[in-house]
């Protein structure tokens, strides 16, 4: 079976991205059922290695936002557990510091930079990752790229 890497941005506007030697698939977060179905489809076709962005709340987050973000994070972990997959949890600063140049510098828009890098590395995704609202797709694909590069 072909090995593929799945990167997951668990945010409200998050996504999952599958990266294999031959294809890239993107799946926008809709709900747990759709995410579970997509992961099951991918799991039937590939030997999956999954990396989920590890989320933490920040002092500036409101409580409702932090709770919703944490729920999605847990749902993705539950989907993986149900499929017998042990995901690697990757803190955003870990993958961004390796993939995004100048990622934590004043005046750098990490979301915009992620979109630009994805378009450059994976030009075939230009039609699927072209607007600011697609930053979840871009992050997911870059998390998958990070996982593949690290052999996770």
Give every CB contact of residue 21 below 8 A, 6+ residues apart in sequence. 2
Which residues form the domain of 112? 3-150
**Residue among 121, 27, 112, 43 nearest 80 (CA):** 43
In this predicted model, which residue has the larger pLDDT, 151 or 44? 44
Distance CA 67, CA 61 (A): 10
The model carries a pTM of 0.86
Burial bucket for residue 70 (CB in 10 Å: 0-12, 13-18, 19+): middle
Give CA angle at 89 (111, 59), nearest 5°: 60
Q: Provide the domain count of the chain.
A: 1
Please report, for the domain that includes residue 127, its CATH number. Answer: 3.30.420.10
Residues 89-117: pLDDT tens digits?
999 888 888 887 766 666 666 777 787 88
């Amino acid at each position: 079976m072909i090995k593929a890497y799945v990167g997951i941005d668990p945010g409200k506007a998050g996504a999952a991205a599958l990266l294999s030697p031959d294809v890239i698939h993107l799946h926008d977060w809709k709900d747990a059922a759709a995410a579970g179905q997509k992961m099951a489809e991918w799991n039937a076709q590939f030997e999956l290695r999954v990396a989920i962005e590890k989320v933490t709340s920040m002092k500036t987050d409101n409580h409702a936002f932090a709770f919703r973000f944490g729920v999605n994070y847990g749902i993705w972990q539950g989907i993986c557990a149900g499929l017998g997959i042990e995901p690697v949890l990757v803190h955003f600063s870990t993958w961004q510091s390796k993939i995004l140049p100048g990622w934590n510098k004043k005046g750098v828009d990490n979301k915009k930079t992620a979109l630009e890098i994805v378009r450059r590395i994976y030009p075939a995704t230009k039609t699927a990752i072209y607007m600011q609202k697609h930053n979840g797709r871009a992050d997911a694909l870059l998390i998958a790229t990070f996982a593949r590069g690290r052999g996770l």
